[in-house]
């Protein structure tokens, strides 16, 4: 009877009713037998939740998950108050790879040197007792530019100018220190509210940033192993060629982002990394005039964006 009661309680917790069509399904099913939608599954408690990371960050929950680790919410005791922080981890399986460890530690070192208000702030980085690598950073409340574009498709020129100006401020400091971001995209531009100001930008994920050629040479092994250092729709032509990168590669990525914000679509169409590489290296962007939302974009802004998208980096800003 106890076993039966416990099983019934578990079924109530996991709720095998499909969230899409409400069709009842058998215990343990992964997909709805009626509409095929994924079914909610009972999750084991994450062992990191409730523990203290780095001696001062109390893990309280899971914020997100990726292929190599998770992002958690955490609290740091600050006198009589608690500060909410985000803690990103790389699981021990990957943390055993010296190349991954070196890259992860370098990420912490690179970003900890950046002080611009529009750059994500790192508080600490290191290893947990379980062997996971972690970075503790400021907790942000808001949405990514990617999420905003999914809702609104395109933005007004004035709003794009305000957002991109802040991104450029963050990158200016990084470029002055010899740091190239290399993975600029809407998902790495976070919009929050600060002191009553909307669309306050934070540039995220300098994790594949390059600060010197020695580090770039080490990371070439990761590329050869199949780990793409960049996101194909936003990568510069020289990035696909494996050339040495400088600030002008980031300028190209900014051009792609600005183009997408203003036109409501990317400057090229492709489905595979190879197709993206071909488009970025040889094709011309679709003209601004082919979409109605681009009609209000000032000519000077169109010119700036198209210059940033030059195949030859010597022709970019």
**Whole-number Cα distances in Å, 305 to 142, 185, 254, 316:** 27, 15, 8, 9
Burial of 291 (C-beta count, 10 Å sphere; 0-12/13-18/19+): middle
Asked if 201 contacts 254 with a C-beta cutoff of 8 angstroms, the reply is no
98 to 111, 165, 218, 278: CA distances (angstroms): 20, 37, 11, 33
- Residues 6 or more apart from 250 whose CB is under 8 A from it? 171, 175, 180, 181, 182, 184
| Contact yes or no for 111/104 (Cβ under 8 A) | no
- State in Å, rounded, how far the first CA of the chain is from the last one: 74
- CA pair distance 36, 34, nearest whole angstrom: 6
Q: Which of 124, 132, 183, 250 is catalytic?
A: 183
119, β-bridge pairs: 203
Determine whether 129 is an active site residue: no
Q: Output b/e per residue, 175-185; b: 16+ Cβ within 10 A.
A: beeebbbbbbb
DSSP notation for 58-112: EEEEEEEE-SS-EEEEEEEEETTEEEEEEEEEE-HHHHTSHHHHHHHHHHHHHHH
Query: Active-site residues: which are they?
Result: 183
């Amino acid at each position: 009877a106890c076993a039966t009661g416990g099983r019934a309680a578990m079924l109530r917790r996991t709720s095998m009713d499909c969230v899409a069509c409400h069709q009842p399904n058998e215990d343990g099913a992964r997909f709805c037998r009626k509409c095929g939608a994924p079914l909610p599954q009972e999750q084991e408690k994450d062992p990191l939740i409730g523990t203290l990371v780095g001696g001062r960050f109390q893990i309280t929950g899971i914020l997100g998950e990726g292929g190599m680790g998770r992002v958690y919410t955490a609290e740091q005791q600050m006198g009589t108050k608690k500060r909410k922080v985000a803690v990103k981890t790389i699981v021990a399986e990957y943390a055993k790879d010296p190349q991954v460890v070196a890259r992860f530690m370098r990420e912490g070192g690179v970003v900890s040197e950046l002080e611009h208000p529009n750059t994500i702030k790192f508080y600490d980085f290191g290893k947990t007792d379980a062997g996971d690598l972690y970075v503790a950073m400021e907790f942000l409340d808001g949405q990514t530019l990617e999420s905003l574009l999914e809702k609104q498709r395109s933005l007004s020129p004035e709003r794009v100018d305000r957002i991109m100006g802040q991104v450029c401020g963050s990158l200016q400091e990084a470029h002055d220190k010899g740091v190239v971001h290399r993975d600029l995209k809407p998902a790495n531009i976070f919009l929050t509210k600060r002191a009553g100001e909307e669309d306050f930008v934070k540039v995220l994920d300098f994790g594949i940033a390059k600060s010197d050629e020695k580090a770039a040479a080490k990371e070439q092994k990761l590329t050869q192993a199949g780990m793409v250092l960049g996101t194909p729709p936003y990568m510069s032509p020289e990035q696909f060629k494996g050339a040495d990168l400088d600030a002008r590669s980031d300028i190209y990525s900014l051009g792609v982002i600005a183009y997408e914000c203003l036109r409501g679509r990317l400057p090229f169409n492709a489905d595979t990394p190879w197709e993206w590489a071909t488009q970025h290296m040889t094709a011309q962007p679709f003209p601004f005039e082919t979409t109605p939302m681009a009609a209000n974009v000032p000519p000077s802004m169109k010119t700036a964006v198209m210059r940033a998208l030059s195949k030859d980096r010597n022709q970019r800003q």
